[in-house]
Amino acid sequence: MMEKIAKLIEQAQSDIAASNTLAQINAVKVKYLGKSGELTQLLRGMKDLAPEDRPAAGKFVNQARDEITELTDKKSKELAQAETDEKMLKESIDITLDGNAVERGSLHPCTLVANEIVEIFTSMGFSIAQGPEIELDKFCFQMLNIPPDHPARDMQDTFYITDEALLRTHTSSVQARAMLKSKPPIRIVCPGKVYRPDDDATHSPMFQQIEGLVVDEKVTLCDLKGLLETFAQKLFDQKTKVRFRPSFFPFTEPSVEVDVTCSVCHGKGCRICKGTGWIEILGAGIVNPKVLENCGIDSKKYKGLAFGLGIERTTMIKYGIPDMRILFENDVRFLKEFK
Ligand code: FA5
């Protein structure tokens, strides 16, 4: 029995020494120490020994098991470390290599301009109001002093959905909703998409507008001019001047078209302003008392000023873009210019 055990230890030592992988050393463990392993078999054979030989043989077998366990554990650790070292060497990262570039998007120029305009007005105490793009004729036209069959409806060709519902042609519809909802003083800007059946280099069927409305006890055309001049100087540059030309909107009286000095030539005349030195930027006026009354506001006590500008047109002026359609093509080379 003792001889057998000694041989087994010798055999195990040589198997352990010959193991070069974790899989091999695990197989050696199973071969000697597993449930049907050779050492386990020897332990089972103890019952055939004479009782007086059993204690010494038992001790020897236990020693053998401890020794083989120790040797296989040691070898397992060595092999595991060697495998980790090899893996680390293979997978080492060269931190001097360039990483994979992640393409970052950017805001569309119209979004940049819209955000900037909203920021200018909010910094002057305006709050933001919004309304639905699918609007009722009532808010888009009737409350704004444009009854059905009024010739002024021809000024804004309209996509009708039903006789009552339409795609709003201007953000002035939000004015009516805001005045019905809140009492003066009112000071709001209303950004949003609007729709008209137009399509050429300076007109798009979908475009964005920002409406502005102030209703208070003392509001004059001078306030409108001062407000729009401050706005234009913040959006373009400090030297920008504003000029009013008489115009007509059914919801304002008097009404004006507002021009700013060309931001490219500063009023000298160039290709962008067609030699005039001025560029039309928005429509505005003093809110027609009929509109205030339609919205439940006492027109004897309160006056209003309102203006509406096109975001695409303003973006074209600010960046000298000659054709509005470029803004809708989403050519990445163009959009990258605004990163
Ligand atoms: C209006 O829409 C009025 N609601 C503006 C207003 C508000 C006047 C409050 C008075 C008081 P107008 O139709 O001119 O006005 O449009 C305003 C701006 O929208 C224009 O100056 C232009 O910049 C832009 N715009 C008009 N039609 C188009 C279009 N098809 N594509 C792109 N921009 C357009």
Model pLDDT for residues 84-143, shown as the tens digit of each residue:
888 888 887 778 888 888 888 889 999 999 999 999 999 999 999 999 999 999 999 999
User: What's the gap in Å between 311 CA and the centre of ligand 1?
Assistant: 9
Nearest CA to ligand 1 atom 3: 308
Closest listed residue to residue 272, CA positions, set 285, 280, 262: 262
**AA letter at 295:** C
DSSP state of 185: S
Q: Which residue among 214, 279, 313 has the greatest number of ligand 1 atoms within 8 angstroms of its CB, and so is best to mutate? A: 313
The pLDDT value recorded for residue 304 is: 97
Q: Ligand 1 pocket, 240 CB below 6 A?
A: no
The pLDDT value recorded for residue 262 is: 87
- Closest ligand 1 atom, residue 283 Cα: 8
Strand 134-136 and strand 127-128: the pairing is unpaired
d(CA 138, CA 147): 9
CB-based contact 292:253 (threshold 8 Å): no
Give alpha helix (H) positions in the chain.
2-18, 22-33, 38-44, 54-90, 109-123, 137-140, 172-181, 221-235, 289-294, 311-319, 326-329, 332-336
pTM above 0.85, yes or no: no
Q: Which residue among 154, 207, 286, 328 has the greatest number of ligand 1 atoms within 8 angstroms of its CB, and so is best to mutate? A: 207
Give the whole-number percent of the chain exceeding pLDDT 90. 61
d(CA 208, CA 135): 15
Q: Inform me whether the pLDDT recorded for 156 exceeds 90.
A: no
Give alpha helix (H) positions in 45-126.
54-90, 109-123
Q: Ligand 1 pocket, 196 CB below 6 A?
A: yes
The pLDDT value recorded for residue 285 is: 98
Region 194-207: mean pLDDT is 89
The pLDDT value recorded for residue 244 is: 95
Condensed to tens digits (0 to 9), the pLDDT of residues 262-321 reads: 877 888 888 778 889 998 999 999 999 999 999 999 999 999 999 999 999 999 988 888
The pLDDT value recorded for residue 227 is: 97
**Torsion, Cα of 229, 247, 212, 199 (10° steps):** -110
Q: Ligand 1 pocket, 173 CB below 6 A?
A: no
- Closest ligand 1 atom, residue 198 Cα: 30
- Closest ligand 1 atom, residue 209 Cα: 19
The pLDDT value recorded for residue 166 is: 95
Q: Which residue among 143, 159, 172, 224 has the greatest number of ligand 1 atoms within 8 angstroms of its CB, and so is best to mutate? A: 172
Q: Which residue among 113, 146, 170, 235 has the greatest number of ligand 1 atoms within 8 angstroms of its CB, and so is best to mutate? A: 170
Three-class SS of residue 330? coil
Q: Ligand 1 pocket, 310 CB below 6 A?
A: yes
- Span between the terminal Cα atoms of the chain, in Å: 85
Closest listed residue to residue 307, CA positions, set 239, 260, 266: 260
